[in-house]
Amino acid sequence: MKAGRAWCHFTVQALFAVYMCALFKIILLKFGPADIEFMWWRLKQNVIHPEYIATRLEAGNLIPLKEISRAIEVMSGPSQLNLLGNIAIFVPLGVFIGILAKAGKPTLAGVFWRSLGVSLGLEIAEVLFSIGTFDVDDLILNSAGGSIGFIVYASWTSLWRREKSDTLESTSFLGASHETNHGFNRGR
């Protein structure tokens, strides 16, 4: 049983690693190849010339809900894909945080903050490597996605535990009845 649990835990950790690699590839590399040498050169250029970072930040969106509102008003395919994609890509993160939590139960607020942290790290990396622009709305959407993923995980876990508990109660009820009958038969 312990070997099976260890294998299951290892599998979940491996899937989490694959998910994180995919997340970095999609968000940072925009599905392109990873040219580490070129990215390193861009990072060095941005460190030498901090005004490049300032320009990237100025070109980005620092006003909360600005791009989300615009996308809802326009309601075009690409804007909807951007909104839903930024949410959907972080849903697995919320599920993984729930599954991989070691000490205690994670809270919705805790998952929100962890999702925000991962999203912020990716947004900063986009600016530092001159790959994209900073968008505060991505932080909002990504954090919402992680939170949704955790809600799905917590709901599923709650239903599973309730079903398991109901099964155990009915089994223990049958066992108790059997013991009572057995005890009664002994007394005769």
Percentage of residues in the chain having pLDDT higher than 70: 87
The pLDDT value recorded for residue 175 is 53
- Within a domain: 71: yes
The pLDDT value recorded for residue 178 is 46
Domain containing residue 16: 2-30+62-178
Total number of domains in the chain: 1
pLDDT at position 174 over 80: no
- Within a domain: 51: no
pLDDT at position 26 over 70: yes
Structural tokens at position 46:
């941005």
- Where residue 130 falls (left for φ over 0; alpha for ψ -120 to 50; beta otherwise) is left
- Within a domain: 46: no
The pLDDT value recorded for residue 75 is 87
- Within a domain: 128: yes
- Within a domain: 23: yes
The pLDDT value recorded for residue 181 is 45
For tokens 């809270």, the residue is 107
Place 170 in a pLDDT band, splitting at 50, 70 and 90. Answer: low
- Within a domain: 47: no
Q: What does pTM read for this prediction?
A: 0.82
The pLDDT value recorded for residue 22 is 95
Q: What is the pLDDT of residues 48-89, one digit of tens each?
A: 999 999 999 999 999 999 999 999 999 899 999 999 999 999
